[in-house]
Amino acid sequence: MESVEAVEKVGKNNMLDHALVQLLLLLGVTVSVLLLFQRLRIPTSLAYLLVGVLLGSHTAGPVVADEHIPVIAEFGIVFLLFTIGLSFSLPQIYALRHTILGLGTAQVALTTAVVGALAWLLGLPGPAAFVVGAVFAQSSTTIITRQLMEQGESQTRHGRLGTTMSVFQDITAVPFVVVIPVLGVAATHEIAGALGLALIKALLAFVIVLLAGRFLFRPLFNLVAQRRSAELFTLTVLFVSLMAAWTTKTLGLSMAFGAFLAGMVLGDTKFRYQVESTIRPFRDVLLGLFFVSIGMLVEPALIPDIWKEALLGALTLLSIKLLLVTLIVRVAGVGLQTAFRTGLLLAVGGEFGFALLAIGLERAVIDEFLAQIMLTSVLLSMILAPFLIRYNQPLALRLFGGASMKPAETQDIALTARQGKRTGHVVICGFGRAGQTVSRFLESEKVPYVALDLDPSIVRQARLAGHTVFYGDSSDPAVLENVGLKQASLLIISHEDRSAALATLRHATQLRPKLPAIVRTRDQQHVEELSKAGASEVIPETLEASMLLTSHALLALGVPLYRVTQHLQEQRGSRYRILRELFRGTLDDIKEAADANAEQQRLHSVVLHQDSPVLGKRLEELGIEQDKVSITALVRNAQRELNPSENTRVQAGDVLVFLGARDALAQVETRLTGAGMPDAE
């Protein structure tokens, strides 16, 4: 008996040693190849593919067992689709339906149709030809964006068009995730029925995830955010994304589709940026593992037999997409030279094509020999892509001469703003008293800003009142990148957490080395430390710390000195009214509870629903003066109006922002809505 247990123990130890050696081999080769590729400025996705080729069973040398890698790597696609969903909420997709969404959809549909028809004419079965067209329709967002940023062309018109269309390809490719699996059914006449059933299941999954997002996900994240635990928040993000993936898998659909729906639901919440930064490490590592698994599918021994077909496939991919994109963009009213340069950007194959290829292989829609040709063709196009993008301007000039573009082409298009991406804005870290004070003056000067705070109560009320505030940790570099720090004109750190401020400055210096940064500190002993960390201005907290911080912010943005002085004089004359107009968080409630005499004024947002008894009344008829409460703003149809006219009639859906003491605000809300002021969430 003891000998049997000893043998089992030795066997377990040997398995553990073997697994550890395999893991170390995978990590060691990956780190080495990534270092080399990053030094040579080659996209890291190609590095992961090379690691897969080197460690795959089809090449000589050490081999990493791949029986578990594809299973784990599938979660990389799950998190990739989850992240894409975060970037495109339902309102954004609806707003872009006539412009870039149309261009991106047209490109994917036409490329799939043309390439699929060509493959079918060459003798491939219909389902296999469809997969070939779908794979070739994808473009590499990673390669396009990275190369454009290195060249300084990310904000040009062709750069914006190419980047935006490549991102929308990921959205328009989501239906492929639903369609391709049902193409593997045995009988051709069953495809229509299976496809219809899959679409019904997809609609059911959308409804389930949408309802769960509204009634489960959002309250859950509000509850978790109150605990202020990074560990708990991370676990919640993983739970929500994987729960949505499991839901669609249970319905017989792809896990990636459910993750995309969950991301789309959360993309319209205040937690969007923090969720994205939390999921990014898991996504990047697992997505890298996915590329490794794709690389393991490459059989170098077959290259002598398929190189002609693979090269022809790569040339077909590049030429057809170049012509189609150029034509689509040209028809949309863009000049020929810009349309051609956009076509060069999007001609490259994409990473998501590998995911569709893997799905087609798994469901036996295509055979392994055809998959090898497609895989090699896409890889060749991705290898050529950096060179096509780098020399897009010389190629356009050589083909079309030095003809100047039309005036309409030289004007910036509003694509960036319409996607929620900002330029020239101010990033405010901390939306407490000082942060809100600064935001009021920025708003009066019509300077756009994005604020971050970790108090869910402040974020909830401020967003309800129309402020651009998100729940997020400003010391997280991913959050800073998500709110567009690279395109910002100013960084303001208004909270009192010195360690977090130092971390924010260090990350900001790496993301945007010369970005002006104004930092608030409690006293003067940390001024030098913060300055060395990258702060251009450090404001010690004094009697007028908030006013001084605001004056520096406005001056840094180029507001004339006389207007800054005028603002300060107006506020002193009104006894610092703006400084009293603050949303209160949970910590403020605790402090006020400790002081029974505290009657500090606060801001509070009230939503008027359909059953409100005051609908149709003018603001002057609400009778709020008796409660010593005033109205500071009205938000209607996402438009914020400061100090609205007393003759304004209230409507269902309006948000009124009141200023007053807590008890008075509760009385007003009860009278206007029939429900008391809720406790801070």
Per the structure block, which two tokens stand in for 430? 């901390």
Nearest 5°: the CA angle 355, 479, 348 is: 30
Provide the pLDDT for residue 400. Answer: 76
Provide the pLDDT for residue 410. Answer: 33
Q: Which of 500, 506, 501 minimizes the C-alpha distance to 538?
A: 501
d(CA 221, CA 1): 53
Indicate if the pLDDT at residue 545 is higher than 80: no
Neighbours of 127 (CB within 10 A): 23
DSSP state of 270: T
Q: Which of 294, 399, 387, 385 minimizes the C-alpha distance to 339?
A: 399
d(CA 573, CA 551): 16
Per the structure block, which two tokens stand in for 106? 């047209």
- pLDDT band, very low/low/confident/very high, at 484 (cuts 50, 70, 90): confident
Residue, of 628 and 491, whose pLDDT is higher: 491
Provide the pLDDT for residue 590. Answer: 45
d(CA 40, CA 22): 27
Indicate if the pLDDT at residue 9 is higher than 70: no
Provide the pLDDT for residue 66. Answer: 64
Per the structure block, which two tokens stand in for 463? 């967003």
What pLDDT, in 10s, does the model give residues 279-327? 888 878 887 887 787 778 778 888 888 888 889 989 999 999 999 999 9
- Provide φ and ψ at 655, rounded to 5°: -115, 120
d(CA 546, CA 572): 12
Q: Once rounded to an integer, what is the mean pLDDT over residues 138-154?
A: 71
For helices 255-266 and 191-212, angle between their N-to-C axes, nearest 10 degrees = 30
Q: Spell out the residues 6+ positions from residue 79 whose beta carbon is closer than 8 angstroms to its own.
A: 241, 259, 279, 282, 283, 286, 287
What pLDDT, in 10s, does the model give residues 167-216? 667 666 667 877 787 776 555 555 666 667 767 877 888 888 888 877 88
Provide the pLDDT for residue 190. Answer: 58
In SS3 terms, 139-169 reads as CCHHHHHHHHHHHCCCCCHHHHHHHHHHHHH
Provide the pLDDT for residue 174. Answer: 66
d(CA 263, CA 258): 9
Q: Once rounded to an integer, what is the mean pLDDT over residues 57-79?
A: 76
Residue, of 349 and 43, whose pLDDT is higher: 349
Provide the pLDDT for residue 514. Answer: 86
Provide the pLDDT for residue 546. Answer: 65
Provide the pLDDT for residue 596. Answer: 43
Q: Which of 286, 278, 284, 281 minimizes the C-alpha distance to 234?
A: 278
Is residue 148 exposed (0-12), middle (13-18) or buried (19+ Cβ within 10 Å)? buried
Q: Which of 4, 82, 35 minimizes the C-alpha distance to 244?
A: 82
Residue, of 469 and 69, whose pLDDT is higher: 469
Per the structure block, which two tokens stand in for 341? 């340069």
Neighbours of 220 (CB within 10 A): 15
- pLDDT band, very low/low/confident/very high, at 575 (cuts 50, 70, 90): very low
Indicate if the pLDDT at residue 403 is higher than 70: no
- Provide φ and ψ at 540, rounded to 5°: -70, 140
What pLDDT, in 10s, does the model give residues 590-607? 444 444 444 567 788 888
Distances (CA, A) of 99 to 137, 346, 407: 19, 17, 20
Helix residue ranges, H only, 183-217? 191-212
What pLDDT, in 10s, does the model give residues 329-372? 888 877 888 889 899 989 988 877 877 888 888 777 888 888 88
What pLDDT, in 10s, does the model give residues 222-239? 888 888 888 899 899 999
**Worst-scoring range by mean pLDDT, 146-160, 269-283, 552-566, 587-601?**
587-601
Per the structure block, which two tokens stand in for 188? 């051709």
d(CA 44, CA 35): 9
Neighbours of 548 (CB within 10 A): 19
Amino acid at 347: A
Provide the pLDDT for residue 416. Answer: 35
**Worst-scoring range by mean pLDDT, 46-60, 365-379, 584-598?**
584-598
Q: Which of 94, 107, 116, 160 minimizes the C-alpha distance to 331?
A: 107
Percent of the chain with pLDDT over 70: 80
Amino acid at 361: L
Strand order across the beta sheet in which 602-607 lies: 602-607, 655-660, 630-636, 639-642
- pLDDT band, very low/low/confident/very high, at 82 (cuts 50, 70, 90): confident
Provide the mean pLDDT of the chain: 79
Q: Once rounded to an integer, what is the mean pLDDT over residues 131-144?
A: 84
Contact 646, 619 (CB under 8 A): yes
DSSP state of 485: G
d(CA 479, CA 86): 13
Q: Give the chain's radius of gyration (CA, Å).
A: 28
Q: Once rounded to an integer, what is the mean pLDDT over residues 480-507?
A: 88
What pLDDT, in 10s, does the model give residues 412-458? 333 333 334 567 899 999 998 889 989 989 988 889 999 998 888 88
Indicate if the pLDDT at residue 150 is higher than 90: no
Q: Which of 546, 587, 582 minimizes the C-alpha distance to 567?
A: 546
Distances (CA, A) of 587 to 432, 455, 591: 11, 9, 6
Provide the pLDDT for residue 149. Answer: 64
Contact 365, 127 (CB under 8 A): yes
Contact 282, 79 (CB under 8 A): yes
- pLDDT band, very low/low/confident/very high, at 407 (cuts 50, 70, 90): very low
Distances (CA, A) of 450 to 92, 113, 336, 439, 656: 18, 42, 37, 9, 21
Q: Spell out the residues 6+ positions from residue 320 whose beta carbon is closer than 8 angstroms to its own.
A: 111, 114, 115, 136
In three-state secondary structure terms, 451 is strand
**Worst-scoring range by mean pLDDT, 107-111, 115-119, 250-254, 356-360?**
250-254
Model pTM score: 0.60
Indicate if the pLDDT at residue 542 is higher than 60: no
Q: Which residues pair with residue 493 across a beta bridge?
A: 429, 519
Q: Once rounded to an integer, what is the mean pLDDT over residues 503-509?
A: 91
Q: Once rounded to an integer, what is the mean pLDDT over residues 607-624?
A: 86
Per the structure block, which two tokens stand in for 636? 């209607």
